């Protein structure tokens, strides 16, 4: 059931990111809602569901934004895999680690997407892309502060762990 919810959530989030995102832009910073929610979903629910979110959300972003098909999915899958590894390392502290993970992985996601689009000839040439990407990293961090710890804590509170019955 969580895989289906992840697919529907990713599609809706991609639509919201591309329709509402330009209107909530602050300067050059625009949030990557599909990315933030994919990482939060991975921390809260698990890697398998996060990968579904990344794949479906990336395909939806590529189709709706008319990017080369698969670029956003590839970048999101890489980042969600890293998020799954981080979540597994810091299992007990997931509500606290989700925000720093989003900050670091936002830069990784943006650079991966920048390199992919540049390799496919769809991106503008910038000599040093990091300063151009930092405002969006900050915006992603703010969204993660608002959503991340709460989502992980609520999931941990209301979902029973599977235990071995003896």
Domain boundaries, the chain: 2-151
In angstroms, how far is CA 149 from the centroid of its own chain? 15
Give the side-chain half-sphere CA count within 13 A for 8. Answer: 5
Residue 103: per-residue pLDDT: 93
Distance (Å, whole) CA 6 – CA 19: 20
Contact 160, 118 (CB under 8 A): no
Q: Which residues, in sequence order, are bridge partners of residue 29?
A: 26
Q: What is the mean pLDDT of residues 102-128?
A: 82
Is 159 a residue whose pLDDT tops 80?
Answer: no
Give the side-chain half-sphere CA count within 13 A for 84. Answer: 17
Distance (Å, whole) CA 78 – CA 48: 13
Of the candidates 47, 33, 114, 127, which has an alpha carbon nearest to the alpha carbon of residue 80?
47
Of the candidates 159, 144, 47, which has an alpha carbon nearest to the alpha carbon of residue 95?
144
Residue 122: per-residue pLDDT: 66
Q: What is the mean pLDDT of residues 80-104?
A: 91
Q: Which listed CATH number (2.70.98, 2.40.70, 1.10.1760, 1.10.287) goes with 2-151?
A: 1.10.1760
Query: CA-based Rg of the chain, rounded to a whole angstrom?
Result: 16
Q: What is the pLDDT of residues 77-86, one digit of tens each?
A: 999 999 999 9
Q: What is the mean pLDDT of residues 66-82?
A: 92
Alpha helices in 45-93 (DSSP H): 47-65, 71-89
Tokens representing 61 are 């972003």
């Amino acid at each position: 059931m969580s895989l289906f919810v992840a697919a529907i959530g990713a599609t809706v989030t991609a639509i919201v990111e591309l329709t509402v995102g330009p209107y909530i832009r602050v300067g050059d910073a625009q949030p990557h809602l599909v990315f933030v929610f994919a990482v939060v979903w991975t921390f809260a629910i698990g890697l398998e569901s996060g990968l579904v979110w990344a794949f479906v959300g990336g395909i939806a972003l590529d189709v709706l934004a008319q990017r080369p098909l698969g670029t956003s999915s590839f970048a999101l899958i890489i980042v969600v895999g890293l998020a799954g590894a981080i979540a597994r390392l810091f299992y007990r502290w997931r509500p606290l680690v989700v925000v720093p993970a989003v900050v670091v992985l936002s830069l990784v996601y943006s650079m991966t997407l920048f390199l992919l689009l540049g390799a496919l000839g769809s991106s503008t040439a910038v000599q040093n892309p990091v300063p151009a990407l930092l405002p969006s990293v900050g915006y992603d961090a703010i969204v993660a502060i608002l959503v991340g710890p709460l989502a992980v804590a609520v999931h941990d509170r209301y979902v029973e762990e599977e235990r071995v019955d003896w």
